[in-house]
Amino acid sequence: MSTPDHSRPSDGQAVAALDRVSIRYGRTLAADAVSLEVRRGQVYALLGRNGAGKSSLVRCLLGQQRATAGRALLFGADAWTTRRLAMARVGVMPEEPDMPRNLHADAIAAFCSRLYRRWDSAGVAARLDRLEVPRRLPSGRLSKGQRAQLALTLALAHGPELLILDDPTLGLDAVARHELWDDLIGDLADRGTTVLLTTHDLAGADGIADRVGILKDGRLALDEDLETLRARFRRVSFRRRPSEVESTQVAELETLGALQVAGSSLGFEAVVGSFDAEAFARFAASPGVTEPEARAMSLEEIFVAVAGDGLGGA
């Protein structure tokens, strides 16, 4: 996969925002006072376990669902009341692309072109040809990867200011996922499009996101730039029997912002969320600590630590 450009400029203006949005389904609270902003030029990855509230929040932003409380905003205006105007500036790739299975790509693109004032027909054809997506084959006979690339091509065809990707690699095999992410990174670098992304493919999100929000039980547990997140999270390990841990060592781990600590006869492992090199050096120098190591964590590992129930996984 290509290396993403995490220095894409942002003018600080919010293209999409949630302002203390809560969503209820009867007695079930799907989202609880969630506030976030997707700023122009950003790729924002909204992550969460199944049932965390991601899809409900996306529907609110698209003006498809009204929030129980709070406001969803597109381009500074209420998404519920201005949806018709706002959607002309938004491209959407749903997790299950809803395309007529008996129509081929050219026919689907021709139909969609009538819905927008701007439409790059030549660009659509060129992109599909480059990706080797058959343009005259009924979409129902395309592979899942080809259907995903067709859906993404259609979402980009009118030059949207905001692209919303709702689990775009759902159901794709490893090769198709890699190809979609790699191609998308190139597209975004060329276009500078603002993106709101939800996905369970955390390795893919790790390679494209500028900022990350993690939902847990309907609340936004974390919202910050990915590079900042990577800098402060570490997996710390050292050798020492659990019964021999001293209070000073525990205190040092707390200074590092220990979220989880697991011990065994072989030693300890902890996930820390406030890593500091000097504090780790003091911890490593503690009596009895041997083989101390602080390892950088992937976005997937950070997600498991924040949204999961323990070191073992979510």
How do residues 128-179 score in pLDDT, each as one tens digit?
Answer: 999 999 999 999 999 999 999 999 999 999 999 999 999 999 889 999 998 8
Based on the domain organization, do 157 and 35 belong to the same domain? yes
- Whether pLDDT at 231 is above 80: yes
Flag whether 251 is in a domain: yes
- Whether pLDDT at 62 is above 90: yes
- Left if phi > 0, otherwise alpha if psi is -120 to 50, otherwise beta: which for 212? beta
Based on the domain organization, do 97 and 205 belong to the same domain? yes
Based on the domain organization, do 217 and 239 belong to the same domain? no
Based on the domain organization, do 180 and 240 belong to the same domain? no
Domain final position from 205, 226, 247: 226
Domain that holds residue 282: 234-296
Based on the domain organization, do 71 and 191 belong to the same domain? yes
- For the chain, the residue count is 314
Based on the domain organization, do 216 and 181 belong to the same domain? yes
Query: Which contiguous run of DSSP H or E holds residue 296?
Result: strand 290-296
CA 207 to the chain's CA centroid: 10
Between CA 305 and CA 53 the distance in angstroms is 19
Q: Which two structure tokens, joined as six digits, stand for 110?
A: 């021709």
- Whether pLDDT at 314 is above 90: no
Using a cut of 0.85, tell me whether the model's pTM lies above it.
yes
Based on the domain organization, do 161 and 84 belong to the same domain? yes
Query: Region 261-269: what's the mean pLDDT?
Result: 70
- The DSSP secondary-structure symbol of 91 reads E
Helices 144-156 and 105-113, packing angle to 10 deg: 20
Portion of the chain with pLDDT greater than 70, in percent: 89
**Burial environment of residue 264 by CB neighbours within 10 A (0 to 12, 13 to 18, 19 or more):** exposed
- Whether pLDDT at 229 is above 70: yes
